[in-house]
Amino acid sequence: MMQVRTTIALVLLLVCARAPAIDKMQLLSGHHVPTLEQVQSSGELRVLMLRTPEQPEGLRQLAIADRQLAGDLAQHLGVRLHVIEVDEYAQLFSQLKAGRADLIAEPYPTNTAHLSGLRASLPLHDAAPVLIGDQDLPWTVTVNAPGWHWALARRQQASERDLKVQTRTQAVARLLPSTQTQDALVSNSRIADALQLDARAMGPAVPYSWMARDNDRMLLAQVDDFLQRHQLKPDHATRPAGDWQAIKAQGVLRMVTVMRAETYFPWQGQLLGFDYEMVQHFARQHQLELEVMVAPDADTAVVWLQAGLADLAAAFLNENLLSGKQGVVASVPYHETAGVLVGTSRSPVVINPMDLNGRKILLPADSRYREQFDRWMANGIRVGVVDLPPNQITDTVVARLERGDADYAVLDAHLAHLKTAWGQDLAALLPIGDAEAHVWAVPEGADTLLGHVNAYWQATRGSYRYDLTWLKYFSPGRSPDRFLENYMAFVQDGAISPFDSLVRRHAARHDIDWRLVVAQMYQESRFDPAAVSRAGAEGLMQLKPATAGDLGVRNSFDPEENIEGGVRYLSWLRDRFESDLPITDRLWFSLAAYNGGLRHIQTARELARAKGLNDRRWFGHVEQAVIELARIGVDGGKGYLDAEQVTDYVRSIRQRFNAYQMLTDQQISTVALARSVERAPDHSAVQKDDVFKPAVTGITE
């Protein structure tokens, strides 16, 4: 046995000589520490990452995703990304301490930061140590890899355990499908999952982070701010787009649309729009949750569908325009419309096309109605066409018409009806062009999903639900005019609720996204300051009198006092959970505790551990433990926990919060585009790409 131990020690010494382990004294000797100001003044963020392997494919894709996240950080900081690739883990730490980079952007166990004299960012994700292969075989571990410290600790606990070491280059080769080995590889669950390998979990999941120098706190604060914003936006590419079996297994349908009055918009916290309501109805019929992604325009919505970011695109898409698109398939039509010439009460009367002689007309450069005007002009009718940027939003067209930039504009008939229904000074004067169909779209190959969508429209179009929903938005005199004021306020100011300014101020003090608080407020009180629940909870954030007293809230019906107290209570609950939890799960735990009680959620986490669930994750883990806890009874059967209320509470707030994120992001782009159009003397020179930089930023309800 002594000879075996000596052999192991020699192997460790020889391999570590080829790929040196972390030398703490060497790492602590670095002197040059770039500050955040230096990063911003140089215009470059230097990050250390492991060299991207050519194979295996799953590992390569994982590295590409990590690099994309680092690129998003650089964009957040307003600088370029400079990736410094290294071959071995030890080089990550030595190069950072030597001042050759600003950040290690390779995920590494958070709890090892102190071993290298570094400081960890907020967690990126959790991963558990795993063993790939038969655990009775000799174990092989990569020098300084995430499983390195764990493997050495296990080696000390079981001195007879054979432990081999290898470089990272050797480890990558070891993971190739063609490689035959006689050992078991120590790795982590993230790599095993990416490669779809059978792996045995050998310990609890731990958080992984990026690393910065201990005294570079300002840069790390910016990194943490970015990670918090990023992680509150769910991942879009978790499964094949349009795959009905995967959709049903996940229980989620992903829709991409645009923020328009006819498709999708907020009204006093509600999410409305004709397309949205119909897709929501379709999803509920199939017992699916709906997640909505907002694109800046219809063209981009189709591009995102082609890229596999969504299962369904719904935004009054024109059937003829889709016919030439690769990778997408149109549903059966659910609506037909033609164009209509519109004017204001100041516009000259139009009886026939001859009345347009000498008049100016607003028309997008790519409009399908341009051919009609070309034919009229060929017949001697002099029409001055004022070009608009492609995908010009209807609200801006109407505003320019009211401002006198032209005599008339051309809109799809249903949009003209919507604006008229909402009381705007607009009148339909003359039909333009032939009717064309509007459709939804799915990815090419999503035949089962397409079949369900087509069956839905064949059963629903012409139904009472369809007619009632249509009248809600498009029928003059029947449309809810009260939508208009709130919708226009959102388009101009991004206002979700009447209390946004109060929420922003108090949420910022506690480092909570204000949109999460607004989503919670809607769930609690529907924005009613005088709301009182059956349990006696009061005000916008539904504070119980005892809780309000503990928080120093004297008048729960005063909006500012109630919001300040509610945000402070949510912050207090958040601080009761470990700071190294995934950012999102820490919030979900906090919300669950707000609704179901802190002690009950802590008990549910204990139950989750006992049942083999992950007590660090809410959805699908502690969420399930809450349901089980309610079934078996809390406090020895004496307590009461409404599991359905708690789980629905968190899910509803998450969905609405994600919706508010996307809508406010889109609102910023919409306002920027409208202002650019107003400032530009030559409107045709303003292109949407000057303002919109399409990027996947989140999913909504």
pLDDT tens profile 338-370? 788 888 878 888 878 888 888 888 877 667 777
Question: What pLDDT is stored for residue 692 in this prediction?
Answer: 33
Within a domain: 295: no
Q: Which residues of the chain, if any, have pLDDT below 50?
A: 1-34, 478-479, 481, 677, 679-701
Active site residue 524: yes
* Final residue in a domain of this structure, among 183, 216, 231: 231
**Within a domain: residue 136?**
yes
> Is residue 52 domain-resident?
yes
Q: pTM here?
A: 0.71
User: Which CATH number belongs to the domain containing residue 44 in this structure?
Assistant: 3.40.190.10
d(CA 686, CA 677): 6
Residue 49 lies in a domain: yes
612 domain residue, yes or no: yes
In-domain check, residue 347: no
CA–CA dist 286, 304 (Å, integer): 24
Residues 637, 679: contact at Cβ < 8 Å?
no
Q: What is the pLDDT of residue 485?
A: 57
Residues with Cβ within 8 Å of 47's Cβ and at least 6 positions away in sequence, in order, are 70, 73, 74, 81, 82, 83, 84, 101, 102, 103, 104, 105
240: burial class by Cβ within 10 Å (0-12, 13-18, 19+)?
A: middle
Number of domains in the chain: 2
Among the candidates 652, 670, 695, a domain finishes at 652
Inside any domain, residue 566: yes
Among the listed residues 286, 691, 602, 640, the one whose alpha carbon sits nearest the alpha carbon of residue 456: 286
- At residue 5, the pLDDT reads 41
CB-based burial label for 213 (10 Å; 0-12, 13-18, 19+): buried
Domain membership of residue 614 as a residue range: 500-652
The DSSP bridge partners found for residue 363 are: 387
Cα–Cα distance measured from residue 333 to residue 320, given in angstroms and rounded to the nearest whole number: 11
The pLDDT value recorded for residue 286 is 96
Candidates 88, 106, 291, 524; catalytic one: 524
Could you say which of 210, 231, 252 is where a domain stops? Answer: 231
User: 563 lies in a domain?
Assistant: yes
Rounded (5°) CA angle 211-215-218 = 80
* Whole-angstrom distance, CA of residue 77 vs CA of residue 39: 9
Which residues in 345-360 are b (16+ Cβ under 10 Å) and which e? eebeebeebeebeebb
Tell me which residue of 670, 669, 665, 666 sits closest to 399, measured CA to CA: 670
